[in-house]
Amino acid sequence: MTRDTALSSTDPGQYLTRRLIDALIREDVAGCQSDSQAVGTATVPGSPERPATWLRWTLARGVLWLPVNPATFMQRWQWSGDALIWQPADQTEGVSEVDHYEQVLACLTANEHDDSGEQLAVYADECRTAESHAAFCQKERLRWFDEIRHQGQSWKDLSRLSERLLYFDRLAAFLDHPFYPSARAKSGFDEAALAAYAPEFAPRFQLRWLAVPGSEVTALGELPGCWPEFSEVGLDNQLADSHHLLPVHPHLWDTALSDYLSNTEIGARVVRAPAPALWVRPTLSVRTLQLEAAPDVHVKVPLTIRTLGNRNIRTVKPSTLYDGHTVQQILQEISGSDPALQGAFNVTDESSGLHVGDLPWLGCIVRRFCGFSDQQQIVPVASLLADSPDGRCVAQMMADEFNHGDLTKWVRQYVALTLTVHLRLWLVYGIALESNQQNSMVLLTPGRPPQLLFKDNDAPRVWPGRLCARMLSVEPIVAQLRDRRILVNDETPLAQMFTTITLQLNLAVILEGLAARGLGSRTQWYKLLREELISVLGQLDDDGVNTQSAREVLLEDRQLYTKYLLRAGSLESKSRTGAADINKFYGKLAPNFLGQVS
C-alpha cells in the first residue's frame, strides 16, 4: 500500500485512486482479499506484460482484474499502479481499462434492487470532494511554507505552548489519515468554508450564541471566565436570570441551525443572539476550538460536517460529555496509584460543558490543558510524519530538539512509552483507549523522559470485571458510564482496539513513514518495535500479570486485526456490517509484521 499519506503534490485524482484501491483490498470489500484468486498474466484478458500477479475479483456484474504487487503492511497485496481490467458478465469480449476511482466504484455496483448503488454514489461524491479539497489545501500549504521560509521563521519562534500546539496541529492537518482513502474530504464544507474554518488555513473567527431557557440546559463543571455576558452578544443582561448562553459554530449557525430549531419543541423558546463573541481558532479536529482569551482552554462544539465517512457526522452527543469525564477520572485514579504508570501519561480536564436534553447539535465540551508550561512541547501523534517548511518531519524536529538529533533514541523512547502505558491498561486494568493519532499527544519536557497526553477519552473499551477486581475503588465511577457499548466482558474487543489504534495507527504507521523517508529501514524499525514489545510483556510477567492473550494476538497469530473504516463508514449499512459502532468494525486479514522480524 502507499505509505505517503502527506497531501500529495501529484494529481489528487491519481493519489485518491491508489488509496481507494488499496483500501478495497485491505478491507476485503466484496471478498477482494478472501475470495479473489491470484493469477498470472496469461489468465488475464489481453495477457498484459506486467505485473506478474493479478487478482481475479468476481463481482456481481462481472470480473475486475486487479494488478498487484506483494505487500506486508496491513494487507497481502497492493495495487501496482497499472490499469485494472473490467470484464462485464454479459460481455465476455467487451473488456475495458479502469484507472480512476469513479470507474472503480462503478464496477462495485450490484443491481438496481441493492442499496449499495446509492451508497456508492454518495461515496463517489465524497471522493470528488476529497479531490477538490486536496487541490485547494495543497495551494495553501505551498503558500504558507513559502511565507515561513521567506520570513525565516521557526516553530521555536513561537514563545507560547498554546501557539506551538496550533502550529503542529496545522502541520498535521495537511497529512491524510493513513487508511481512510478520502480522508481529505470535509463533506459539508465548500472552499469558502474551508478557508474560514479549517485548521489548514489557520483562521480566527467568533462564535455565535443561543440563549436557551435555563430549565432546558444541564451545566456541568465550570465555564471559562471569558464566557461572554448577554450584553456582549447583543442581548439584555436580564436574560441571565432565566437563560444560558450556548456557543454555536458559525458554520452550523449559517446552514442547518434554523432547520434543527424548527424541528424541535425548544426551537420557539430560544433566542438567537444578534452579535458574535469570543474569538477562537480551530484545532486539528475542526470542531474543537482554542479560545484566544484563554488559550489553554478548548471548546468542542457540534459541527454538521462529515469526516472519515458519510456516517461520521461531527456533532456532540451529550453522553460523550459524561463518559469522557468518567474515563478521565478512571485514568487519573490508575496513574495516581500504579507506580509503573506514574508520570507516564496525563489527561486533559474534560469535566465541564453544557447540553440540552439529548440534542447532539446543541451543547459543548470544555477541555482544559492544565499544569503545562511554555518550556514544554505538545505534539499530536498525527503530526509526527508531517512535513515542516525546512524539509524535516516533526519526529525529526523533536529528536533534534530533545534528543540531540538521535532519531532512533527518540523513537525508541516513544515506542517504549506507548507500549508500557497501553499494554498495562489492557492487561492489568481491562482498558483499551481509542487514543487515535488525533487524541494521543506526546508531551516533551527538557531533561525529562517523554510522556503521553490523552484527550477525548469518551469511546474506550472497558472490561469492568478486570478493572474492578484490580481497583475496587473505581467501581462507582465505572457504573456512571452511559454508553453501554463501552463495556465489554472478554479479551477480544480490547485486543482489537489495541491492535488497530495503538499498534497499527500510532506505532507501525509512524515506523513505516520514517522508513519511506529513508530515515532507517523497515527491518530496523520493526526489530526495535518487537524488542520493546517483548521487553514490556516481560516486565508485566515479572509483575505477575497474565500476558498470554497479548502474546498470542501480537506475536503468535499470523494475521492481525484490521479496522474496516471504509466499509463501515461509507460503503455498507449497519445492517450489513452488524457493527454497533461504525468506528469499531473489524476483520483479521492483515499480515503480522511483528512475526516477520527475525
| 356, 212 Cβ separation under 8 angstroms | yes
pLDDT for 148 equals 96
Peptide bond into 51 cis (omega under 30): yes
Q: What is the mean pLDDT of residues 548-572?
A: 95
Phi, psi of 389 (to 5 degrees): -60, -25
Measured CA to CA, the distance from residue 109 to residue 257 in angstroms comes to 35
| Neighbouring-strand partners of residue 249 | none
Top pLDDT among 336 and 112 is at 336
For the stretch 134-161, pLDDT in tens is 999 999 999 999 999 999 989 999 999 9
| 367, 475 Cβ separation under 8 angstroms | no
What ranges make up the beta strands (E) of 9-61? 37-39, 53-59
How far is CA 530 from its chain centroid? 24
For the stretch 337-389, pLDDT in tens is 999 999 999 999 999 999 999 999 999 999 999 999 999 999 999 999 999 99
Q: What is the mean pLDDT of residues 526-532?
A: 98
- What is the CATH code for 377-556? 1.10.510.40
- The answer to which of 254-268, 277-291, 582-596 has the lowest mean pLDDT is 582-596
Assess if CATH 3.30.310 describes domain 1-153: yes
3-state secondary structure of 408: helix
Q: Is 445 exposed, middle or buried (0-12, 13-18, 19+ CB in 10 A)?
A: middle
For the stretch 341-353, pLDDT in tens is 999 999 999 999 9
Cell numbers describing residue 466 = 478486570
CATH 1.10.510.40 domain extents, the chain: 377-556
CATH 3.30.310 domain extents, the chain: 1-153
CA dihedral 352, 200, 585, 38 (to 10 degrees): -170
pLDDT for 110 equals 78
The amino acid present at 511, given as its one-letter code, is L
Q: In what order do the strands lie in the sheet with 451-454?
A: 345-347, 451-454, 440-444, 377-380
| 235, 273 Cβ separation under 8 angstroms | yes
Cell numbers describing residue 178 = 493513513
3-state secondary structure of 337: helix
For the stretch 15-58, pLDDT in tens is 999 999 999 999 999 999 999 999 999 999 999 999 999 999 99
Model's pTM, two decimal places? 0.95
